[in-house]
Structure 1
Amino acid sequence: MRLIHSDGYSGFSLSLFHGRQIPPYAILSHTWGADDDEVSFEDLSQYSGLHWAEKPGYKKLQFCARRAAAHGLQYFWVDTCCINKSSGPELSEAINSMYRWYQGAARCYVYLSDFEMRGSNLGSKDWKRLRNSRWFTRGWTLQELLAPQSADFYDATGKHLGDKNTLSRWLSDTTGIPVAVLRDRNWRHNSVEEILSWAQHRQTKREEDGAYSLLGIFDISMSLIYGEGRDKAYRRLFKKIE
């Protein structure tokens, strides 16, 4: 697992850990902008921060570093730059491990880049706008909601909106996921059909990711075959579930 370390100013570096060597870490849940807007693995590995510090995605790293430091954590994980996506084996390992990484995080920060709270507390109009956040429409964010013991929600300015437990009833109304599942992280008694319904209207950039984003939720591993198409990916998923 590759983690980001901040020097406390504007410098970030990557470190690779294995197994029990992995230190306590925070993890970011967010939605991607355009690929060129995000700070990538190549950016952190090869180039001067003067280049990628101008990217919109740099704000996410700064946010996560500040929150992690406030919680006494030296390391944090952000998918845009902690995975070498040019390596097929590494990408496959990361996707098959991602649920476990969110599950094992000391802190999970949900960063809603398209929502800003207008006052010091959420008002009735805020709740309506919050429901329309892109974060609730993406396939990958389903496991990012389910896996962590807790998840803290923040708006685009870094204001804290609440956590998965305090917001559980509203999150249940918005996502269709039962409150008990959100609080206890236990869906062993929920049917496969019900679990799939939680993901039914969510979207992914690549069609196969609709199936791949459910691997951790069903506690299975599967090879990634981009280009196989949505239907074949789901058929393989269902065969594994059986």
Structure 2
Amino acid sequence: MRLINTSTLVLETFGEAVPSYAILSHRWNDVEVSFQDLQDGRGKSMAGYSKIQRCCAQAQSDGWKYVWIDSCCIDKTSSAELSEAINSMYQWYQASQVCYAYLADVRLGKKLHRELEDSQWFTRGWTLQELLAPASVVFFDQDWVDIGTKASLGEIISEITGIEDLIDFESACVAQKMSWAANRKTTRVEDMAYCLLGLFDVNMPPLYGEGENAFIRLQLEILKTSDDESIF
């Protein structure tokens, strides 16, 4: 697992002994700093680098030496590494000390409830597991101002997402969990299946190009480990 050192902003690789880390959840922009960009130094001149800097600064301020950011901690040119990451991501978010949910389209103010309702962050497929898996989620607005936590904003978040219990959600039936993702979107059609792997505790190699067949494979994998008939 690769982590960014919050002091040096340099990537470090760890085996089984992974140190404590903060993790970022964000809506991707058109230009994000990739693993290669960060490694060769090009990332520093890219618009997305400021998000990395602010995330690291927040983590360092909170006492965390490392942070994980999906856009630059995964070498997406390696199909093996990408497959491992997709199947491990839920566990990585779950194991984090804190998740920083950065809402680039929200500004703290009197109309916060409305701004949260309209935020793209709540419409994306991948952010579902990023909301549920971590025990601690802290939300930040576009200027990295603390908006609140998953606990303090629980009532609003439940209203937006339709998830009644943000803590004891694992007991929900398959159909209920599927409904939470029904109105969410991903850039690649296959990712609507891949982003749910951790939520259903299944492992499945990604096959980009398979289209909607990815969701059929997901359902078959769920059936192998569950007798929940609500899936039908």
TM-score, normalised via structure 2 length: 0.93
Q: Which residue of 1 aligns with 2:116?
A: 130
- TM-superposed CA distance for 1:91, in Å, is 0.2
Which one of the candidate residues 140, 147, 166 is aligned to 2:152?
Answer: 166
Determine the C-alpha separation between the residues in 2 that align with 1:79 and 1:197: 25
Note the alpha carbon deviations across 1:2-34, whole angstroms, 9 max, x for none.
100133xxx421111122x10000000001001
- TM-superposed CA distance for 1:191, in Å, is 1.5
Q: What is the RMSD computed on CA atoms of the aligned residues?
A: 1.1
- TM-superposed CA distance for 1:220, in Å, is 0.6
| Aligned pairs (5 A) from 1:197-212 | 197-212=179-194
- TM-superposed CA distance for 1:54, in Å, is 3.0
Determine the C-alpha separation between the residues in 1 that align with 2:12 and 2:198: 24
SS for the counterpart of 2:10 is strand
- Note if contact 1:168-1:183 (Cα within 8 Å) is conserved in structure 2: no
- Note if contact 2:9-2:56 (Cα within 8 Å) is conserved in structure 1: no
- 2:61 counterpart letter in structure 1: A
Q: Which residue of 1 aligns with 2:38?
A: 44
Q: Which residue of 2 aligns with 1:144?
A: 130
1:110 partnered with 2:94: no
Determine the C-alpha separation between the residues in 2 that align with 1:63 and 1:222: 34
Identity %: 48
SS for the counterpart of 1:12 is coil
Unaligned residue ranges in structure 2 (runs of 5+): 224-232
Q: Which residue of 2 aligns with 1:235?
A: 216
Q: Which residue of 2 aligns with 1:4?
A: 4
Note the alpha carbon deviations across 1:24-77, whole angstroms, 9 max, x for none.
00000001001xx2111001112x3xx422322112111211111112111000
Note the alpha carbon deviations across 1:100-125, whole angstroms, 9 max, x for none.
0000001110000111123xxxx2x2
Determine the C-alpha separation between the residues in 1 that align with 2:6 and 2:87: 27
Determine the C-alpha separation between the residues in 1 that align with 2:192 and 2:48: 24
- Note if contact 1:24-1:75 (Cα within 8 Å) is conserved in structure 2: yes
Determine the C-alpha separation between the residues in 2 that align with 1:161 and 1:28: 15
Q: Which residue of 1 aligns with 2:22?
A: 26
- 1:5 counterpart letter in structure 2: N
Q: Which residue of 2 aligns with 1:89?
A: 80
- TM-superposed CA distance for 1:166, in Å, is 0.8
Unaligned residue ranges in structure 1 (runs of 5+): none
- 1:2 counterpart letter in structure 2: R
Q: Which residue of 1 aligns with 2:10?
A: 13
Determine the C-alpha separation between the residues in 1 that align with 2:82 and 2:116: 31
Determine the C-alpha separation between the residues in 2 that align with 1:177 and 1:29: 18
Q: Which residue of 2 aligns with 1:100?
A: 91
TM-score, normalised via structure 1 length: 0.89
How many residues of Structure 1 are paired with residues of Structure 2 in the alignment?
Answer: 223
Determine the C-alpha separation between the residues in 2 that align with 1:153 and 1:63: 13
SS for the counterpart of 2:167 is helix
1:192 partnered with 2:174: yes
SS for the counterpart of 1:53 is helix
Determine the C-alpha separation between the residues in 1 that align with 2:43 and 2:208: 28
